[in-house]
Amino acid sequence: MVQLNSYLTFNGNCREAMTFYKACLGGELELQTIADSPMAEDLPQKMKKCILHATLKSDSIVIMGSDMAPENFIKGNAVAMMLTFNSEDEIRKTYAHLAKDGYATHSLEMTFFGALFGHLTDKFGHQWMFYYSSAKN
């Protein structure tokens, strides 16, 4: 079975963002700087603290990231990460954590299809969707 993982690109603040996501979502965080890679001697000194690759992993999520943005880096609005929750308490806590210093584009509310749903853009410009339904499938 194929597994789909998120890979986020940052413009120099990958460490800060991934540490924030760990605080919000839990999991184990691994960070590899450019200085700790074979690429170190080929890149300018100012880039050595940048994150070459980061992985935040738990039983239910894998989020990867990097500061290795292309020169024409433009953060788009066509992709959002969808989080599906097992409890109302869990969705509300996580929404509040990720919303800190970001902005809600759709506050958590009960929808016409019977689920609690919300959407926000976090302080790093990434979009998150939140979903919880108490209905048994």
Look up the domain containing 91 and give its range. 81-133
Q: What is the CATH number of the domain that holds 41?
A: 3.10.180.10
Q: Are 27 and 61 in contact (CB under 8 A)?
A: yes
Cα 75 from Cα 10, distance rounded (Å): 9
- 0.75 exceeded by the pTM? yes
Q: What is the pLDDT of residues 87-129, one digit of tens each?
A: 999 999 999 999 999 999 999 999 988 899 999 999 999 999 9
User: How many domains is the chain built from?
Assistant: 2
Cβ within 8 Å of residue 42, ≥6 positions away: none
